[in-house]
Structure 1
Amino acid sequence: MAANKKVSSAEAPEKEQASPILIQMGIFAAILFVSSLISPLFPASFPVPTPVVGLILLYVLLATHIVKLRNVEKFGDFLISLIAFLFVPSGIQLAASLKVLQAEGVKIIIVVIIATIVMLVVIAYTTAGFIWIRKHVFHGNTDIDQ
């Protein structure tokens, strides 16, 4: 019966406060600024867009716990909620290019399907590789809840 006893709210660990939204915006702005300095350093034969460098920097900062998730979560959720709005110009451009789609539509669809399958397979094997490395090299727990 003692195992069924609920933990009172006084004994429950307190959740840490999220950072103010201006601080979160500042963190994203700083990461984007640093990534805009790093992006031109790549050779012209292998250009890496600034947002991709920024995503990698943010991942590294979160993975190393330099930046806590609570410091960027609210603003990140806000940006994700805007993602559909950001694709509106692409949809308008697609509608303007209907003649191209009419002539090459089947080829484009086949390429998109093949690229999606290849991407999913590569991501699956990469994730499995990282899990194997964490398990066998770092002897870490691969459970999500730690």
Structure 2
Amino acid sequence: MAANDKVTKAETAKEEPASPILIQMGIFAAILFVSSLISPLFPASFPVPTPVIGLVLLYVLLATHIVKLRNVEKFGDFMISLIAFLFVPSGIQLAASLDILKAQGVQIVIVVLIATIVLLVVVAYTTAGFIWIRKNVFHRDVNVDD
């Protein structure tokens, strides 16, 4: 066990530091720029928002190790810390639409619940598909730390 601990400590010592914050911002900006170029290519009957395409691109880049987690983690954590602040305007708009909620509140709640369940199932199967591809096509073990 002691030799195994030494290897783990040696591997940990070799890890590269996180990228500077401006590089991380640049990676996010480049992904959003590419997403904005892809978004208009979808048909009008199936519009896909640019941020959704950006999330998928970032996931694919992270899963294929084109972008390392350490290259985007610090800025990603910063953006997550701002989520509550960014959703305040949405909450204010929701309060302004209380008459709609009173009239159709149950239907809205049902639609939101069904959409959430569908989203969770789609994300789960998509992730399982990527893991299957990585194991069976690329013959690589799936490790979260990669």
Q: Secondary structure at the match of 2:14?
A: coil
Cα deviation 1:33-74 (Å, max 9, x = unaligned): 222122222222222211122222222222222222111111
RMSD over aligned Cα, in angstroms?
2.6
Structure 1 residue 8, shift from structure 2 partner: 9.4
Correspondences of 1:122-141 after superposition (within 5 Å): 122-141=122-141
Sequence identity percentage: 77
Structure 1 residue 96, shift from structure 2 partner: 0.6
* Alpha-carbon distance in structure 2 between the residues aligned to 1:42 and 1:123: 20
Q: TM-score, normalised by structure 1?
A: 0.80
For these two proteins, the number of residue pairs brought into alignment is 144
Please identify the structure whose Cα radius of gyration is greater. 1
* Alpha-carbon distance in structure 2 between the residues aligned to 1:61 and 1:143: 15
Cα deviation 1:63-107 (Å, max 9, x = unaligned): 222222111111111111111111111110111111111111111
Runs (5+) with no aligned partner, structure 2 = none
Aligned to 2:70: 70
Relative to structure 1, the CA distance from residue 43 to residue 114 in structure 2 (aligned partners, 3 Å threshold; closer, same or farther) is closer
* Alpha-carbon distance in structure 2 between the residues aligned to 1:110 and 1:35: 31
Aligned to 1:60: 60
Correspondences of 1:71-110 after superposition (within 5 Å): 71-110=71-110
Aligned to 2:115: 115
Runs (5+) with no aligned partner, structure 1 = none
* Alpha-carbon distance in structure 1 between the residues aligned to 2:9 and 2:131: 37
Q: TM-score, normalised by structure 2?
A: 0.80
Correspondences of 1:32-47 after superposition (within 5 Å): 32-47=32-47
Higher mean displacement: 62-71 or 93-102 = 62-71
